[in-house]
Structure 1
Amino acid sequence: MFGISKGYALKVLFGTVFVLNICVASAQRPITSNQNRNQYGTLPGLNNQNQNQMQYGSIGGVQDNDAPEEEADTTKKPPKIRKPLESYFFNDSIRARQSFAWNVNLERNDIDIIDVDTALVGFQNEYPYLQNNVGSAYLGNLGAASVPLDYFLRPQYRNFSFAQSFDAYLFTPQRVRYFNVKKPFTHLSYFMSGQTRRLEESFWGAHAQNVSPSTGFNVDYRSRGTRGIYTWQGTRERNLSLAFSHTGKKYSVHAGYIYNMQNVKENGGIMRDEDITDTVFEMPELIEVRLQDARNQLKNNTFYIVQSYGVPLRKLTDEDFSIAQNSSFFIGHSLELSKFYKKYTDTKAKSGDFYENWYISPTQSVDSMYERVLSNRIFVQIQPWDRDGPVGVINAGIGNDAHHYYQFSMEDYLTNRNKGVNKNGTFVYGSVEGKFRKYFSWDANIKYHLFGYRSQDLELGGDVAFSVYIAGKPITLKGSIGHTISTPDYWTENYFSNHYAWNNSFAKESETRISATLSVPSVGLELGAYQSLLKDRIYYDAQALPAQHGGNVSVSGLYARKDFRIGGLHLNHRVLLQFSTVQEVVPVPLASAYLSYFYEFNVVKNVLRLQIGLDGRYNTEYYAFGYNPATAQFYNQREKKLGNYPMIDVFVAAKWKRMRILAKMQHLNDNLFGDRNYFTVLHYPQNKRVFKMGFSWSFYD
Structure 2
Amino acid sequence: MTIRPFLLSVLLLVSAAAWAQRPERNNYNPYEVRDIEEIPDEIKMVRGDKLRAYRITPSVARATRVEMPDTLTHYTFEYISPEFRSLGVSYQGNMNHAWQSKLFFDRARRVGDFFYTDGYYRMLYTPDEVRFYDTKTPFTFVRYQRNFKTNESEDVVAGDFGVNMGKALNLGANFDYRNAQGFYTNSRSKDARYRLFGSYRADRYELYAYIANDYYKQEENGGITNADYILNPDRYTNGRTKVSAKDVPVQITERLTNRIRSGHAYLAQTFRLGHYTTVQRKPTGKEHQDTELLGDTLSLDSTYFVPVGGLSLTTYYNVQSRRLQTQGENDLWKNVFGEPVVTQTRVPDGGGTPVAYAFPNDTAQLTTLHNTLALSLMEGFRPWVKFGLSAYLRQEQNWAKLPNATTHLYGATERFSSTFIGGLIERREGTGLNFSGRGELGILGSDLGAFKIEGNLLTTFRLFNRQFALEADTYIDNARPSYFAAHHHGTYGWWDKDLKFTRRIELGGKVHLTSWGTQLEARTASLQNYIYYGAKGEPSQLTDLMQVLSLRAKQVGSVGVLNWELEAAYQTSTNESVLPLPRLAVAADIYVRFLVAKVMRIDLGVKGYWHSAYYAPYYLPTTQQFILQSEGKVGGEAPLLNAYANFRLKRARFFLQMYNVTEAFTTGSRLSMHKYPYNPMYLAGGVVVDLNN
Shift of 1:363: 3.3
CA contact (8 A) 2:460 2:469 kept: yes
CA contact (8 A) 1:146 1:168 kept: no
Indicate how the Cα distance of structure 1 residues 487 and 550 shifts in structure 2: closer, same or farther if over 3 A, else same. same
RMSD: 2.2
Q: Aligned partners of 1:387, 1:679: CA distance in 2, in Å?
A: 58
CA contact (8 A) 1:390 1:434 kept: no
Establish whether residue 146 from structure 1 lines up as the match of residue 108 from structure 2. no
CA contact (8 A) 2:403 2:410 kept: no
Q: Judge which range, 257-266 or 200-209, deviates more.
A: 200-209
Deviation digits for residues 550-569 of structure 1, max 9, x if unmatched? 10111111111101200111
CA contact (8 A) 2:397 2:417 kept: yes
Shift of 1:91: 8.8
Deviation digits for residues 40-98 of structure 1, max 9, x if unmatched? xxxxxxxxxxxxxxxxxxxxxxxxxxxxxxxxxxxxxxxxxxxxxxxxxx999899812
Indicate how the Cα distance of structure 1 residues 384 and 567 shifts in structure 2: closer, same or farther if over 3 A, else same. closer
The normalised TM-score by structure 1 is: 0.83
Q: Match of 2:491, SS?
A: coil
Shift of 1:411: 5.4
Instruction: For 1:60-459, list aligned pairs within 5 A.
Output: 97-116=49-68, 117-155=70-108, 156-280=110-234, 281-292=242-253, 293-312=255-274, 316-317=277-278, 321-324=303-306, 328-346=308-326, 347-361=329-343, 362-383=357-378, 385-386=380-381, 391-410=386-405, 418-434=411-427, 437-459=430-452
Name the counterpart of 1:622: 614
Q: Aligned partners of 1:583, 1:452: CA distance in 2, in Å?
A: 35
Q: Match of 2:117, SS?
A: helix
Establish whether residue 633 from structure 1 lines up as the match of residue 587 from structure 2. no
Q: Aligned partners of 1:473, 1:121: CA distance in 2, in Å?
A: 26
CA contact (8 A) 1:593 1:619 kept: yes
Q: Judge which range, 245-254 or 614-623, deviates more.
A: 245-254
For 2:55, give the aligned amino acid. N
Indicate how the Cα distance of structure 1 residues 469 and 225 shifts in structure 2: closer, same or farther if over 3 A, else same. farther
Shift of 1:608: 0.7
Q: Aligned partners of 1:99, 1:145: CA distance in 2, in Å?
A: 33
Name the counterpart of 1:642: 634
Shift of 1:129: 2.8
Q: Match of 1:408, SS?
A: coil
Name the counterpart of 2:570: 577
Q: Aligned partners of 2:195, 2:208: CA distance in 1, in Å?
A: 13
Indicate how the Cα distance of structure 1 residues 366 and 321 shifts in structure 2: closer, same or farther if over 3 A, else same. farther
For 2:500, give the aligned amino acid. A
Indicate how the Cα distance of structure 1 residues 578 and 284 shifts in structure 2: closer, same or farther if over 3 A, else same. same
Name the counterpart of 2:660: 667
Establish whether residue 545 from structure 1 lines up as the match of residue 538 from structure 2. yes
Q: Match of 2:485, SS?
A: helix
Q: Aligned partners of 1:350, 1:187: CA distance in 2, in Å?
A: 46
CA contact (8 A) 1:370 1:405 kept: yes
Establish whether residue 685 from structure 1 lines up as the match of residue 677 from structure 2. yes
Name the counterpart of 1:49: none
Instruction: For 1:479-628, list aligned pairs within 5 A.
Output: 479-605=472-598, 607-628=599-620
CA contact (8 A) 1:483 1:511 kept: yes
Q: Match of 1:655, SS?
A: strand
Q: Aligned partners of 2:79, 2:142: CA distance in 1, in Å?
A: 13
Shift of 1:648: 0.5
Q: Judge which range, 505-514 or 216-225, deviates more.
A: 216-225
Name the counterpart of 2:10: none
For 1:113, give the aligned amino acid. R
Deviation digits for residues 602-622 of structure 1, max 9, x if unmatched? 0121x2111111110001001
Name the counterpart of 1:38: none
Shift of 1:627: 0.6
Q: Aligned partners of 1:173, 1:388: CA distance in 2, in Å?
A: 32
Establish whether residue 697 from structure 1 lines up as the match of residue 689 from structure 2. yes
Q: Match of 1:275, SS?
A: helix
Q: Aligned partners of 1:417, 1:611: CA distance in 2, in Å?
A: 54
Q: Aligned partners of 2:54, 2:157: CA distance in 1, in Å?
A: 22
Q: Identity, % of aligned pairs?
A: 18
For 1:131, give the aligned amino acid. F
Gaps of 5+ in 2: 1-34, 40-46, 235-241, 280-300, 344-356
For 1:338, give the aligned amino acid. N
Shift of 1:374: 0.4
Deviation digits for residues 187-227 of structure 1, max 9, x if unmatched? 11111114221101112111111112222122111112311
Indicate how the Cα distance of structure 1 residues 118 and 388 shifts in structure 2: closer, same or farther if over 3 A, else same. farther
CA contact (8 A) 1:108 1:379 kept: yes
Q: Judge which range, 444-453 or 432-441, deviates more.
A: 432-441
Q: Aligned partners of 1:148, 1:483: CA distance in 2, in Å?
A: 22
CA contact (8 A) 1:391 1:435 kept: no
Shift of 1:633: 0.6
Q: Judge which range, 205-214 or 261-270, deviates more.
A: 205-214
Name the counterpart of 1:66: none
CA contact (8 A) 2:460 2:468 kept: yes
Shift of 1:257: 0.8
For 1:401, give the aligned amino acid. E
Deviation digits for residues 119-166 of structure 1, max 9, x if unmatched? 422222133432244141111111111111221110234321100101
Deviation digits for residues 548-593 of structure 1, max 9, x if unmatched? 0110111111111101200111011011111111112222111111
CA contact (8 A) 1:176 1:241 kept: no
CA contact (8 A) 2:225 2:250 kept: yes
Deviation digits for residues 210-250 of structure 1, max 9, x if unmatched? 11222212211111231111111100111111111112112
For 1:545, give the aligned amino acid. E
Q: Aligned partners of 1:420, 1:447: CA distance in 2, in Å?
A: 28
Q: How many residue pairs align between the two structures?
A: 605
Shift of 1:476: 1.3
For 1:398, give the aligned amino acid. L
Deviation digits for residues 487-542 of structure 1, max 9, x if unmatched? 11011211111110112111111000000011234432211110101011111122
Q: Match of 1:170, SS?
A: coil
